[in-house]
Every structure is written in structure tokens, then in C-alpha cells.
Chains A and B, each alone.
Chain A
Amino acid sequence: MPESGALTLPTPFLRWFSEKGWRPRAHQLELLLRSEAGESTLLIAPTGAGKTLAGFLPSLVDIDRRGIIPAGSPFVGIHTLYISPLKALAVDIERNLMKPVGEMGLPVRIENRTGDTPQGKRQRQKLNPPDILLTTPEQLALLLANGEAERFFKDLRYVVLDELHSLVMSKRGHLLSLGLARLRRLAPALQTIGLSATVADPLDLQRWLVAQTPPQEATPQETPTQQACAGLITVAGGAKPEIAILRTEKHVPWAGHSARYAIADVYVAIKEHRTTLLFVNTRSQAEMLFQELWTINDDNLPIALHHGSLDVAQRRRVEAAMAENRLRAVVATSTLDLGIDWGDVDLVVHVGAPKGASRLAQRIGRANHRMDEPSRAILVPANRFEVMECQAALDANYIGAQDTPPIGKGALDVLAQHILGMACARPFDALELYDEVTSAAPYAHLSWETFERAVDLVATGGYALRTYERYARIRRTKDGLWRVSNPTVAQQYRLNVGTIVESPMLNIRMVKRNQRGSLGRGGMSLGKVEEYFLEMLSPGDTFLFSGKVLRFEGIRDNECLVSQAFSFDPKVPSYAGGKFPLSTYLAAQVREMLADPDRRDRLPDQVRDWLALQGDVSMLPRADELLIETFPRGSRHYMIAYAFEGRLAHQTLGMLLTRRLDRAGLKPLGFVATDYSLAVWALDDMGAAFQAGRPSLGQLFEEDMLGDDLEAWLNESFLLKRTFRNCAVIAGLIEQRHPGREKTARQITVSADLIYDVLRAHEPDHILLEATRNDAATGLLDIDRLGSMLKRIKGHITHRGLDRISPLAVPVMLEIGRESVHGEAQDFLLTEAADDLINEAMGGKGTDY
């Protein structure tokens, strides 16, 4: 092996670098060296560090050395597999990679394979595979579920996984880890190369990249760090980004998420830069910001909008215009987070708090794709708590702190899908497949018993009542191997592969009214919107979509019909997705800021004065202290808990506290949660009750609420239905698509809800209900976080009984009425609606619509 890095590069590469006047970067050579030594490696580097070329260099050098395969040679499978989370990224990389490969004159065939790849090309790829195949996790699952997988992957040398930090976080990552385990079986010599942005715990990713030893075989003295893991190369960030919080003379609002107050300042910043990328957290914020900017866009600057529910064609137009530098600004949600090259962005504006330090760093990285120039970013807090949060994120960025969440355990619904896929590929031996599955890091701790239940779920639905044996989808034959019962099963698998379950969405179509007032047909399609949002609308209601104010006309043939509205006060779409909770790290920072006079002093005047007033009227809690305020207002009594644990954990806390307060006879009426605090209101005086110890705050916040209370609540709530639906679709219990007919999302929802009820009543321990509870505990309910908070505040709860609302309570109090309260209020609403009839009978017209 050559000593110096430069010597490891073959001539065409050296010539190419010198013709360009470049030198290979140290990490590129390092990765090449380690790969040639047989090591799998994780490369962590900021945007613009030449990560892509680094990732492909070992493949390109190896293929160059091998040379062209002469015609008439025996079949050779693909050499390198590249997996990206986005279809668009796979296509983008093909373009970016073809250029140097062409210039160096390398004998390398590169092709992509996505859902859009035509059937003919797919067929040809199987017969005559390219050297490098660029694809997505779903396409890999499909390739692996095929009988020819063995042949196709037998020569695989490298798997390059791009944006690994984003891939591993989701169920797609679980599916991919299982696919990788199968690839290792088909090509034992393969090495992985992971490309990632900076993460909090690289070791998680390093383990993910290589085969794990099941725990029962690991020797007891082995510590986690000695477990199998890939090597690590870290490239330090380039120039420190220049981040500022928007300073304004305007009044920063107490609550809300619109940041309307700052629009004029943001517009000035756009004018002062070449191209600005404006990030927001939700699609509704994107709509609103876009609308507001155009209201004051006197210079007619080309400002565009980009979010996930817009029509694909429209998104592609925006992306193209962006790449050609024809736009001055784009308002975007997380659809633009990942590594596509966006031309010369010289400013990133983040409207609303970023909710996580790592997320902020990744978004700022979108500006200036060159490492040596500093990125410029402006943070625009939408309210006063967000000012503190933005300051905390800025401090974190300065010291390079990271707060990406840990990788979760592999989901059981994904496992079921994979098992069916493997049966489609070839008959499997259960023990062998179990060993393979547990070599994937997310499934390393899967027990044999759970694995067997998953196989049973695939075969007959996994019910205790074994009535479906004769309809089994896979069965164990005399040779002891599991195989699919008939070819339709494989066909069904192929139609339903993947872990992204679409929430019911309806197409939005623009129509015109004719002279007779009836609706015309066939206008332009604007994109898609969640069905549940439309269920809240009545014909005539207006909402913002695609930057336009639209009038809801009705639903016809599974399309939402709208017309141009002339209202300026639209009902804004309220999407459920996209509301990230505040990260644990930033929450802790905000708590410390509140407690530290020096850090408070560095905040803008408005915010500092607000906090000072809070100190006078009530108090500012210490970082480890939970402040509870109680006060009367109107005919109600309020309790505010400043827990700083993010909206999801607060919502769960609210549910559980109201149950306990109800049991204590304090007549709670409702609650509302923000990222920072929780407000509960009741008919009885909670403050007096706490002082009298019925119950004490210690009892109220006792950790045992996560036991029986949680269980009892989950059994009554509707919250888990959506989660169940996703699990049932992924596990293949309910099909999204059936050969010959497409099931609409609406149909799936109906049946999934009913199945959930039936299953819960008759088989509460069913594996899919277990999967649902696991999903909800880590996602929707944020149980772990709530649990660690309850532990943290034990013995540190301070109660302030006030005679009126405190300054710190204002933001959450303003949210009341803005958000609907969860709960079992359905029958109450029905009673009200039914009272209409009585009202009518009594001659009254007192209904509110």
C-alpha cells in the first residue's frame, strides 16, 4: 500500500485534479485509503466539503482499475449501490457525477432507478446492470424481493448512503437497514460508506453501517464502544456562519407563529441579497409568509413558494428557476432541507424558531455551497419565547452543539413488510432470517419470540383465533422453509412496498361558476390538501393555498373544488405535519437563560423587560425547578406549568393532569400546550387545593402517572387511530393498493378505524397494537421525555399562587381558543347540535350559524 495519499490516486484522477487546478482533499484520500484497506466508513462533513466525490472515489478507482468488462463475459452484477432519501437527489447526483467521470474518461456506467424509471429500462438494468446504480430505499426493497436479487447483487463492493443522518431517523431507515442486512448476505465482502451532516452521536450511525452481533453471543465484558462499528472521518466545519437575530423596533408579539411584525424587515434583507432562502416550520406558515411578502413586494422581486403539498410540476418549476438563479427568494419548508444544489444562495432567513440546533445548522448550510465562505443567516423569532429559543440556537451553533435525536428501535410493522419481501425473493428458513435481521443495528435486540409473532402476522394476521390458516399468505412447507402461497401475494407486496403512508389527501382543482351559478369543470390542479382539513370547511369558507386565497366550493369525485376568492382574511390551512417539538437541548438552554441574569441581559430590551416584570410579579424559576402558577380569571381558575419540554410532551402531560385533577374533584375543563408551558383551567380553585395538599403538587406530578393513568387514557382516546392506520398499512394488514384497483385514502381510514376498535376490544396484545403503542410513545406522546422531566422536577416544584395572570403566562393564555382541545368532548358537541332541534321546536332561532 502506498505511503502518501496522492500516490493512491490513479493517473486519470490525478490529471483531472491538476487540470482543474484543484488538489484532492485530505478526507477524500483518507476515505479512499480506508476503503481500500477493507473498512466501512462514516464521513461527517458540512455541505460544500466535496462529500459526494469523496463517497464515490473508492468505487471509481476500483472500477477504473478493473476496466471495461469485455463483451461476451459471464454476467457481472452491479459494483456500487448509492441510496438517497430523495428521488430528486438520486437524479441530481447522476448529473453531478457524470461530469467528472466524463472528463476523466473513466469506463464507468452510472444509471438511476426510481419510481419514474420506465419498465423497459428497469428490465435492461436487470439483464445488463450498470456499474453504479443510484436509487432510493423503496426501490432497493423491490430489487431485493425479486428472485434475481442474488445474481444482481453478487458482485456488490460498495454501498454509499447519502444524507444518512436523515435516512436513519424514520421507518424508511429501518427498512433500509434490513435491506442492507440482506445485501451483506448476498455479497459478504461489501463495504458501506455513510455520508452525513454533523450529528449528536456518530457512534449510532457507525454501528448502523455494519453487521451487529446479537446480544446473546456478545461476551459480557464487551462494552458498547467495542461493538462492531464503521470507522469515522470527521471534516471540521468551514468558516463559522454569521448568524444574527432580527433586531427590530417593532413590537415582538407575545404569542403566535406568523412573524407578521417582521415582514418589512425581511423584505429589506431580501432586497439586499442576491438570493434568499426563507425557511419556516409548517406549510401554513409558508403560505402566510409568501402571501405577506407579495403584499409589500413593490419591486416585483421574483419570490417563489415551495412546499410538499404543492403540485409536483409547480415544485419542479421553482427548483429549475432556483438552479438557474432566476429567483430572488424562495419560501420553503423542510422539503428543501436535503442536499440538492440550489445555486447561489447568499442568505438564509429562518422565520420562527428552528426548534433544534442541528436543524438550524443544516438549514444554514444551504447558503454558500463553498466551505471557505461564511454562511449568512437571520433568525426571525415569531414571539417572545422564540427570541430566547433563537438566542439559544445561535449560542449552540457558535459552540457547535448538536441535538439530533437518538436512533430508535426498529419498528415491527416494517419488519413484517420485510419478511414478506424476503419470502417473495426466495423461500426462507426462519432461523437464518432471524440471524440476518438481528445483524441490522435497529433490530439487534429483537427477540426470537417477537420475530416469530411477526412471521405469524405476515402469514395469517397473527390472531390468537387461528381461523385463517387456510388463507395464509406465506406458509411453511415440508422442507421447513417459508414460501409465498401464490403469485398474487408477491404482486400485492410490490404494489404496497414502502413505509411512507400517505395521509388522506384530496386534489385541489380550480373551477369557475357559470352564469347559472353552477360549477364548471376541468380547471387547473393546484396541489393536495389533507382531507381532515377540508372536513372542517363549509362551502363558502376561504383558505390560503399555493399563495392564493381560495373559496371552498365542495368535494366532487374525490377532488376538492375551489374558486378564486376575493376575501383578504382567509382561514389558513392548519396542517398537522411539520410541527417539530422543541429539542431537549434547546429547552434546557432556554431554562438556563431564564435563570441566569447575565444571559437575560443580552436579550433584546422588550424581552428583557418582560422577564424582569415576571421576576417582580411572580418569579423566574431556576434551571432545575418547575414553576407552577395558579390564578383566577373570569369564572375560571388557571394553572400554568412552565415545563419547557416541547408541545408533544406537554400535551400528554395535560391529558394526564386533567384526569388526576378530575379525580381530585377540581373539575378541570380543558388545557392547552405550547413548546414552553402548559395551561390547565378548572371550575375549582386549584391553587387553594394544592396549598391544602389535596392533592399536593408532588402527588399531582408523581411519576406513576405514566402507569395506569396513561394506560387508561390511551384506551379511551382517539389519538392512536392514525398511528394504527400507518402501522396496519406498512405491515400489509390493510393495503394501500390492490391489483386492479386503487383504494382511496378515505376508504383506508374508515376500515382502519373500525379494525382498530375490533382488535382493541378482542385482542389488545396483538403485535400491531404493540407496534402502534411503541410508535406513539416515541412520536405523538413523547413519553420518554415526559418521564425524564417528571424525574428531574421531583422535589423541585415551586408554587406561586397569584391573584391575576403573570407576564410569563400571557403567551400560553393567548393560545387558548386558538387551538382545539383534545378529549372526549364528542358527545358533548352532539348534545349541543341536538339541542338545535329543541330550540327550533320552542320557536327560538338562537343557533350560532
Chain B
Amino acid sequence: MHRLLHAISAPAANVSIQTRTTINGVAAICDPLGGLYLPEGRTLVVSDLHLEKGSAFARRGMMLPPYDTLATLRILEAVVARHSPATVISLGDNFHDRKGSAAMPENFRQMVAAMARGREWIWINGNHDPDGAQGLPGTSMDELRHAGLVFRHEPSTGDGIGEIAGHLHPSATVRRRERSVRRACFATDGRRLVMPAFGVTTGGLDLRHPAMTGLFDRQQLIAHMLGRDRIYSVRFANLLG
């Protein structure tokens, strides 16, 4: 079942958010709703919200359901409520296209404003929305460095030490008993972490896809896959190609 339905149906108490990892020595918790929480700086990271994707398509003649923004924001509310962070970092592709943030309906803007109240909110710019978020609380920037970590949208080509990025929408597949299961995942080798896409109408790219080549030390790479109410951690070697 999609995590969208869990966010609406499953009470937060049943959820196990104990899956811990470290990026360049900084402790982090992978939340099955798709957010990464850094307890030290009380920071919540999400990536690739792709808000207003439905309306972006409708503008071009494909009438996708207009509910994606609301659904994504509800999950965001749930994960923000769970961790009550001091800072929220949204790692880019926050909106599906340049027009998205200005065109977002008023009621959704208010939801974002309510979530941002009393917190620092940082919009990292992505390739879909390079011009920043218009008329919303928070600060837009291309990149943020803080306490041994660097937050950016696209993973760099360098060694990536301490990098937390999005853009790639990583997913992983496991096979058991002749059946395969594919899920979005946090991908990390301990040096760098690539976030799963948070938006409800975003697809995934398999960790074995050529676009992922060279990003990770595959010996150390673990896929923390998003399950119904917990994270499933699987080594790269045990994933299906």
C-alpha cells in the first residue's frame, strides 16, 4: 500500500522510526514516511516534493488528479509533527516546475505557512524549480553547508563526503520466492546519502541504474527501503538488478 494511505490511516504510535544511520559521522534517523531526521541539529530533511505536479500536467492537457499537492503536504505535516524539528530542509524539486510555487492555491500556501511557523525553513533549489519558492515562508538557496554536512539537490561528482542530496529518486528491488518487491529508499554508504522522493506522484529510479554509478562505495551501500510502518534495510549485494 502507498505510504500516502498510511499517513492518513495509520496512527503514528505504531510506527517504528528506529532505523539509524550515519553520514560522515553525523547520526540520522530514516523515517518510513520518507523524511530524514538529524537529532543533533533537530533538523528534518525531505526531498523532491514535486508539489503542483498535477496542475503542471493539466496545463499541458493531461488532467492528472489535482490531489497530489494536498496529499504530499499531509504526509509532510505528519512527519513534521512526529519530529517537531527546529529546521526543515527541502532538498529541491520542491515544485514540479517554475510556475508551481507562484500558482499554488491559497489553502495550500497556508498549510505550508502553518508548518513553517516557529521553525527555520530552507528551500534548496532544484532543476525543476531553479528560481526558488515564491511567496512562501523560508529561505531559498542553491546549497547549504552545516556541521560537516552539505545539502544540495543533485549529488556532486566528487567524493561526496557528508553530502545529503535528492534528485535521483532512488528505489530498490528485492526478490524472495520468485516474487520481487520494489520500494523507494534512502541510499547511503556512510559517506553520502541520497534521499527518496517525498512527493506522492513521483516515480523511482533503481539503485542499479547507470545514473547511480560511481556515487557510492557499493561494498558499503545500504538501501533503507520504505515499508508500511518501518524501514527495511538491505545491502546492495542482496538487491535484485
Please, could you name 26 A-B residue pairs with CB atoms under 8 Å apart, sorted by A? A460-B58, A462-B63, A471-B58, A489-B61, A535-B173, A535-B240, A538-B175, A538-B240, A733-B63, A750-B204, A751-B64, A754-B201, A757-B2, A757-B4, A761-B8, A762-B70, A762-B71, A763-B65, A763-B67, A820-B179, A830-B225, A830-B232, A831-B232, A833-B174, A833-B181, A833-B232
A interface secondary structure, majority: helix
Knowing that A758-B201, A829-B174 are A-B contacts, what are 15 other residue pairs whose CB atoms are under 8 Å apart, sorted by A's residue number?
A461-B58, A467-B55, A468-B55, A536-B175, A539-B241, A733-B62, A751-B64, A758-B68, A827-B227, A830-B225, A831-B232, A833-B176, A834-B233, A836-B235, A837-B222
- Using an 8 Å CB-CB cutoff, how does the interface string of A449-460 with B read, 1 for contact, 0 for none? 000000001001
Taking the complex as formed, is A606 at the interface, i.e. its CB lies under 8 A from any CB of chain B?
no
Chain B CB count within 10 A is highest, among A750, A826, A836, for A826
**Complex alpha-carbon distance, A554 and B222, angstroms:** 22
**Complex alpha-carbon distance, A700 and B176, angstroms:** 32
**Complex alpha-carbon distance, A747 and B176, angstroms:** 25
- Using an 8 Å CB-CB cutoff, how does the interface string of A747-766 with B read, 1 for contact, 0 for none? 10011001101110111001
- Using an 8 Å CB-CB cutoff, how does the interface string of A802-838 with B read, 1 for contact, 0 for none? 0000000000000000001000111101111110110
Report chain A residues within 8 Å CB of B105: 467
- Which of A465, A735, A824, A830 is B183 in contact with, Cβ under 8 Å? A830
**A750-B204, A758-B4 in contact; A461/B61 too (CB < 8 A)?**
no
Q: Indicate the size class of the contact surface on chain A.
A: 35 or more
Chain B CB count within 10 A is highest, among A757, A837, A840, for A757
Chain B CB count within 10 A is highest, among A471, A735, A840, for A471
Report chain A residues within 8 Å CB of B67: 463, 465, 758-759, 761-763
Taking the complex as formed, is A618 at the interface, i.e. its CB lies under 8 A from any CB of chain B?
no
Contact A826 B181 (CB under 8 A): yes
- Which of B1, B177, B235 is A820 in contact with, Cβ under 8 Å? B177
Contact A837 B241 (CB under 8 A): no
Report the interface size for chain B: residues with CB under 8 A from the other chain.
46
Closest to B179 in A: A820
**Complex alpha-carbon distance, A766 and B222, angstroms:** 40
Taking the complex as formed, is B203 at the interface, i.e. its CB lies under 8 A from any CB of chain A?
yes
Taking the complex as formed, is A234 at the interface, i.e. its CB lies under 8 A from any CB of chain B?
no
Contact B65 A759 (CB under 8 A): yes
- In whole Å, how far is A680's beta carbon from the nearest beta carbon of chain B? 19
Taking the complex as formed, is A716 at the interface, i.e. its CB lies under 8 A from any CB of chain B?
yes
**Complex alpha-carbon distance, A747 and B225, angstroms:** 21
**Complex alpha-carbon distance, A820 and B179, angstroms:** 8
Taking the complex as formed, is A847 at the interface, i.e. its CB lies under 8 A from any CB of chain B?
yes
| B residues 221-241 in Cβ contact with A at 8 Å | 222, 225, 227-228, 232-235, 238, 240-241
Chain B CB count within 10 A is highest, among A460, A461, A735, for A461
- In whole Å, how far is A42's beta carbon from the nearest beta carbon of chain B? 40
Taking the complex as formed, is B14 at the interface, i.e. its CB lies under 8 A from any CB of chain A?
no
- Which of A473, A488, A825, A833 is B63 in contact with, Cβ under 8 Å? A473
**A467-B105, A754-B200 in contact; A832/B62 too (CB < 8 A)?**
no
Contact A761 B71 (CB under 8 A): yes
Taking the complex as formed, is A8 at the interface, i.e. its CB lies under 8 A from any CB of chain B?
no
Taking the complex as formed, is B178 at the interface, i.e. its CB lies under 8 A from any CB of chain A?
yes
Contact B228 A554 (CB under 8 A): no
**A833-B176, A833-B234, A837-B235 in contact; A734/B5 too (CB < 8 A)?**
no
Taking the complex as formed, is B202 at the interface, i.e. its CB lies under 8 A from any CB of chain A?
yes
Taking the complex as formed, is A334 at the interface, i.e. its CB lies under 8 A from any CB of chain B?
no
Closest to A468 in B: B58
Contact A716 B1 (CB under 8 A): yes
Taking the complex as formed, is A503 at the interface, i.e. its CB lies under 8 A from any CB of chain B?
no
In order of increasing CB-CB distance, the 10 nearest A-B pairs are A461-B63, A750-B203, A833-B174, A762-B67, A757-B2, A834-B232, A830-B232, A829-B176, A471-B58, A754-B201
- In whole Å, how far is B217's beta carbon from the nearest beta carbon of chain A? 17
**Complex alpha-carbon distance, A830 and B64, angstroms:** 31
**Complex alpha-carbon distance, A840 and B237, angstroms:** 12
- Which of A463, A554, A734, A827 is B66 in contact with, Cβ under 8 Å? A463
Contact A471 B61 (CB under 8 A): yes
- In whole Å, how far is A563's beta carbon from the nearest beta carbon of chain B? 16
| Interface, chain B (partner A; CB < 8 A) | 1-2, 4-5, 8, 55, 58-59, 61-68, 70-71, 105, 173-183, 200-204, 222, 225, 227-228, 232-235, 238, 240-241
Taking the complex as formed, is A492 at the interface, i.e. its CB lies under 8 A from any CB of chain B?
yes
**Complex alpha-carbon distance, A535 and B172, angstroms:** 12
- In whole Å, how far is B138's beta carbon from the nearest beta carbon of chain A? 25
Chain A CB count within 10 A is highest, among B61, B202, B235, for B61
Contact B234 A834 (CB under 8 A): yes
**Complex alpha-carbon distance, A539 and B70, angstroms:** 41
Contact B178 A820 (CB under 8 A): yes
- Which of A535, A824, A826, A837 is B233 in contact with, Cβ under 8 Å? A837
Contact B235 A840 (CB under 8 A): yes
- In whole Å, how far is B103's beta carbon from the nearest beta carbon of chain A? 10
**Complex alpha-carbon distance, A754 and B179, angstroms:** 21
**Complex alpha-carbon distance, A414 and B109, angstroms:** 38
Report chain B residues within 8 Å CB of A751: 64, 201, 203
**Complex alpha-carbon distance, A840 and B238, angstroms:** 11
Closest to A834 in B: B232
- In whole Å, how far is B177's beta carbon from the nearest beta carbon of chain A? 7
Report chain A residues within 8 Å CB of B61: 471, 473, 488-489, 492
Contact A733 B64 (CB under 8 A): yes
Report chain B residues within 8 Å CB of A825: 179
- Which of A460, A462, A837 is B234 in contact with, Cβ under 8 Å? A837
**Complex alpha-carbon distance, A735 and B177, angstroms:** 35
- Which of A463, A733, A827, A847 is B228 in contact with, Cβ under 8 Å? A827
- In whole Å, how far is A41's beta carbon from the nearest beta carbon of chain B? 42
Contact A829 B227 (CB under 8 A): no
- In whole Å, how far is A267's beta carbon from the nearest beta carbon of chain B? 32
- Which of A488, A535, A754 is B203 in contact with, Cβ under 8 Å? A754
